[in-house]
Amino acid sequence: MNKEVEVRAIIKNPKKAEEILKKVGKFRGEKKQIDKYYVPKDNDYFKLKQPIEYLRIRHEDQKHNIGYHYVNLDKRGQKLSTSEYETQIEKPAVMEEILQKVGLIYKVTVTKRRKFFEVGDFEVVLDHIKELGDFMEIESKKDFGGTKKTLKACFDLLKKLNIDYEEEQGLKGYPNLILKGK
């Protein structure tokens, strides 16, 4: 299990954001990711206004994995971190068929072009999602003294980068934004 602490924001000018990130960090590459999301027939995660769990199959280059993710919230319902349970799969088409055979329902696909940057103790990605537009995610690669302090460090970097953004996304994941029409 991996614990992810990150912030996500809609960005207004992806080219300028990329220029800034190349100045303050190191470009690590670009990938296309295709994520297919599934839900149990009696528990549609996306019926909640802000889903806190999801199951997906990710296709990236020639690698594929399945992952169950659960969002950990504070007392006010604000996102703190995400617990990620992931493993590689050898035959994604077979895994998709297994999921359907056990009663899971395909819900939505998110296709994104992702640019990766290393900025100190953070991984920063610029995402372009066809249906949604451009986003930036800042994920901490170290613990800054607990989840809340680590989350604050992510927000501090978001502000320090001085990249023009519309809003921080909190619990608004890409699949939910697509399903709800942004």
What CATH number does residue 82 fall under? 2.40.320.10
Report d(CA 104, CA 73) in Å as an integer.
25
Model pLDDT, residue 104: 97
State the alpha helices, DSSP H only, in 8-121.
Answer: 14-24, 92-101
pLDDT value of residue 99: 98
Measured at the alpha carbon of residue 45, what is the angle toward residues 165 and 107, in degrees to the nearest 5?
Answer: 85
CA distance 73 to 144: 18
The enclosing H or E element of 2 equals strand 2-4
Q: Which residues of the chain have pLDDT under 70?
A: 167, 169-171, 182
Pull the structure tokens for residue 75.
Answer: 């007392």
Name residues whose C-beta falls within 8 Å of residue 134's C-beta, 6 or more positions apart in sequence: 10, 11, 12, 14, 17, 126, 127, 128
The confidence score (pLDDT) of residue 169 equals 67
Measured in Å, how far apart are the chain's first and last C-alpha atoms? 30
Please state the domain count of the chain. Answer: 1
Dist. CA 131–CA 137, nearest whole Å:
17
- Whether 5 contacts 80, CB under 8 Å: yes
Q: What is the pTM of this model?
A: 0.92
DSSP assignment of 103-146 equals: TEEEEEEEEEEEEEEEETTEEEEEEEETTTEEEEEEEESS-SSS
Q: Which residues pair with 119 in a beta bridge?
A: 122
Q: How deeply is 11 buried, as exposed, middle or buried, from its count of CB atoms within 10 A (0-12, 13-18, 19+)?
A: buried
**What's the domain range around 104?**
2-179
